[in-house]
């Protein structure tokens, strides 16, 4: 290892020179293949922290799919049903626990994960490498790679796929700094790792919090810890199903994440599973076509291009059919990186199967938010810890 890596450029091609370095120790990362960029490494280091903490909190292999310094998805290695394997496009491949975690993370929001950076909590095995090799992805960070897995990844993108190995024992200094406009900021690094032990303050009339909901609350909270604020996250069945990142308004976060969660549920509808795709349509084109199918409103030009994906024009789902399909799901967790200032986010969340809510609390309207949860029979836990990330 060394203390500095020269990069191709910074956030944009005109920002040269660019590098990453440490002042007093070797870098904790090794570049095993390819040439990572500035944003690649921001995604890699944020993603690594997320999956490391998920593994630490839940003792399961974990994965994250990062784009532009926020996770598009994150997940643990909870086994998948046949339907989930189908919507995540992995029904035809071998799945190890780590590969299962990445398939779930990548499948949370496949449109946003196009060209992602993958972060993996464990040594990369061959099934996970095969899965990475067939997706449109910029790179991967992990604590190690089996020799055969590394060989697979080194062939991706004509040998230019970016592969980074990180020292799993590395701990950064307690004080972190950053420069903005020539001014240096310093702060205590956020070392709080949410665990199920943090979920004891339940403030709603309904206090029943099963272990699966506790797990999903932890997944939501740790995901939010590494998502650009303001942020809201929907989690279900051991994975993220929708992230609303970087919005100025909490309700806009909730709506954005909720629309992604709705899409994840609707992808499981029998009519979506049986869309009459033409032979040879690749996965990214299928993702785009499914998104447009669920959107419903296309211009004439968009419609003409979209129909080229199918053997015959598909029958669209009506608004009522979508609503009825989503209404059958429940047990979803809603997490927020800061308090809900109004009840509007709870009202919106109720439309996407939310049963469990976790947030810091501390709003002057906490009582109004609690009352809204009680109206829907939701369980809400307050952590007392804000998780802003900028």
CA–CA distance, 142 with 76 (Å, rounded to integer): 15
Q: Are residues 85 and 144 in the same domain?
A: yes
CA–CA distance, 177 with 305 (Å, rounded to integer): 48
Q: Are residues 119 and 50 in the same domain?
A: yes
Q: Is 195 within a domain? A: yes
Pairing type for strands 62-67 and 70-76 reads antiparallel
Q: Is 135 within a domain? A: yes
CA–CA distance, 13 with 346 (Å, rounded to integer): 42
Q: Are residues 12 and 62 in the same domain?
A: yes
Residue identified by tokens 């024009």 is: 313
Q: Are residues 198 and 234 in the same domain?
A: yes
CA–CA distance, 191 with 79 (Å, rounded to integer): 30
Burial class (CB in 10 A: 0-12, 13-18, 19+), 390: exposed
Q: Are residues 285 and 366 in the same domain?
A: no
Q: Are residues 226 and 289 in the same domain?
A: no
Q: E strands, the chain, where?
A: 4-7, 18-21, 29-33, 62-67, 70-76, 116-120, 137-142, 162-166, 175-180, 183-188, 231-236, 239-245, 332-336, 354-359, 379-382
CA–CA distance, 198 with 384 (Å, rounded to integer): 9
Q: Hey, what are 257's tokens?
A: 């994440």
Please state the length of the chain. 390
CA–CA distance, 160 with 200 (Å, rounded to integer): 48
Distance of CA 27 to the CA centre of its chain: 26
CA–CA distance, 142 with 51 (Å, rounded to integer): 9
Q: Are residues 335 and 312 in the same domain?
A: no
Q: Within 108-248, where are the H helices?
A: 126-134, 147-154, 211-225
What pLDDT, in 10s, does the model give residues 64-108? 999 999 999 999 999 999 999 999 999 999 999 999 999 999 999
Q: Is 387 within a domain? A: no
163-191 burial, b for 16+ CB within 10 Å, e for fewer? bbbbeeeeeeeeeeeeeeeeeeeeeeeee
Which residue among the candidates 40, 46, 67, 85 is catalytic per the annotation? Answer: 67
In this predicted structure, which of 2-16, 233-247, 327-341 has the lowest mean pLDDT?
2-16
Q: List Cα–Cα distances, 260 to 110, 112, 294, in angstroms.
A: 10, 10, 11
Enclosing H/E stretch for 310: none
Q: Please state the φ and ψ torsions of residue 76, each to the nearest 5 degrees.
A: -110, 175
Q: Are residues 215 and 299 in the same domain?
A: no
Write the CATH number for 287: 1.10.287
What pLDDT, in 10s, does the model give residues 17-68? 999 998 878 899 999 999 999 999 999 999 999 999 999 999 999 999 999 9
Q: Is 388 within a domain? A: no
Which of 171, 191, 211 represents a domain boundary (last residue)? 171
In the chain, the percentage of residues whose pLDDT exceeds 70 is 99
Q: Is 360 within a domain? A: yes
Active site residue 156: no
CB atoms within 10 A of CB 79: 12
pLDDT at 296: 75
Tell me how many domains the chain contains: 3
Which residue among the candidates 68, 130, 157, 252 is catalytic per the annotation? Answer: 68
Q: Are residues 33 and 112 in the same domain?
A: yes
In this predicted structure, which of 144-153, 302-311, 343-352 has the lowest mean pLDDT?
302-311
Which of 171, 199, 232 represents a domain boundary (last residue)? 171
Q: Hey, what are 367's tokens?
A: 């009582």
Write the CATH number for 338: 3.40.140.20
Active site residue 252: no
Which residue among the candidates 33, 40, 46, 230 is catalytic per the annotation? Answer: 230
pLDDT at 2: 65
Q: Are residues 259 and 211 in the same domain?
A: yes
Q: Hey, what are 258's tokens?
A: 């909720």
Compute the average pLDDT of residues 106-126. Answer: 96
Q: Is 213 within a domain? A: yes
Q: Are residues 152 and 298 in the same domain?
A: no
For the packed helices 126-134 and 97-107, what is the interaxial angle rounded to 10 degrees?
A: 20
What pLDDT, in 10s, does the model give residues 188-204? 999 999 999 899 999 99
pLDDT at 1: 54
In the chain, the percentage of residues whose pLDDT exceeds 90 is 93
Which residue, among 43, 74, 116, 68, has the nearest Cα to 222 in the 3D structure? Answer: 74
Q: Is 178 within a domain? A: no
Q: Are residues 119 and 91 in the same domain?
A: yes
Q: Is 200 within a domain? A: yes
Which residue, among 45, 2, 49, 46, has the nearest Cα to 25 in the 3D structure? Answer: 2
What pLDDT, in 10s, does the model give residues 289-323? 999 999 877 888 888 888 999 999 999 999 999 99
Mean per-residue pLDDT of the chain:
95
CA–CA distance, 164 with 142 (Å, rounded to integer): 7
Which of 171, 198, 228 represents a domain boundary (last residue)? 171
Q: Hey, what are 354's tokens?
A: 């939310």
Domain ranges, residue 370: 183-266+325-382
The CA dihedral of 200, 205, 210, 214, to the nearest 10 degrees, is -40
Spatial neighbors of 30 by CB under 8 A, at least 6 apart, are 1, 164, 165, 166
CB atoms within 10 A of CB 1: 13
């Amino acid at each position: 290892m060394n203390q500095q890596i020269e990069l191709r450029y910074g956030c944009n091609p005109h920002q040269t020179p660019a590098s990453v370095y440490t002042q007093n120790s070797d870098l904790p990362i090794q570049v095993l293949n390819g040439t990572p960029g500035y944003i690649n490494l921001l995604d890699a280091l944020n993603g690594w922290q997320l999956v490391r903490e998920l593994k630490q909190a839940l003792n399961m292999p974990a994965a994250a799919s990062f784009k532009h310094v926020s996770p598009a998805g994150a997940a643990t290695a909870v086994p998948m049903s046949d339907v989930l394997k189908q919507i995540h496009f992995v029904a035809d491949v071998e799945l190890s626990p780590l590969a299962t975690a990445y398939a779930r993370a990548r499948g949370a929001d496949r449109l946003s994960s196009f060209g992602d950076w993958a972060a993996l909590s464990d040594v990369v095995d061959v099934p996970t490498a095969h899965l990475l090799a067939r997706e449109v992805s910029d790179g991967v960070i992990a604590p190690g790679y089996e020799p055969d897995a590394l060989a697979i990844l080194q062939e991706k993108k004509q040998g230019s796929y970016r592969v980074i190995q990180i020292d799993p024992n590395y701990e950064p200094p307690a004080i972190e700094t950053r420069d903005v406009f020539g001014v240096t900021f310093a702060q205590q690094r956020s070392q709080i790792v949410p665990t199920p032990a943090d979920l004891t303050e339940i403030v709603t009339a309904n206090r029943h919090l099963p272990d699966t909901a506790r797990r999903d609350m932890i997944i939501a909270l740790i995901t939010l810890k590494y998502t650009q604020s303001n942020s809201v996250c929907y989690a279900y069945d051991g994975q993220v199903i929708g992230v609303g990142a970087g919005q100025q308004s909490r309700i806009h976060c909730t709506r954005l994440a909720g629309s992604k969660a709705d899409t994840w549920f609707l992808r499981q509808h029998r009519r979506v599973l049986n869309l009459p795709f033409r032979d040879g349509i690749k996965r990214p084109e299928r993702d785009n076509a499914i998104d447009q199918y669920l959107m419903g409103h296309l211009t004439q030009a968009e419609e003409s291009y979209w129909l080229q994906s199918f053997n015959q024009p598909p029958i669209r789902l009506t608004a009522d059919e979508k609503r009825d399909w989503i209404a059958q799901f429940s047990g979803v967790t809603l997490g927020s990186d800061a308090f809900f200032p109004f009840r509007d986010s709870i009202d919106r969340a109720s439309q996407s199967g939310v049963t469990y809510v976790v947030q810091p609390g501390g709003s002057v309207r906490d009582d109004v938010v609690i009352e809204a949860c009680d109206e829907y029979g939701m369980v809400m836990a307050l952590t007392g810890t804000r998780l802003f990330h900028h």
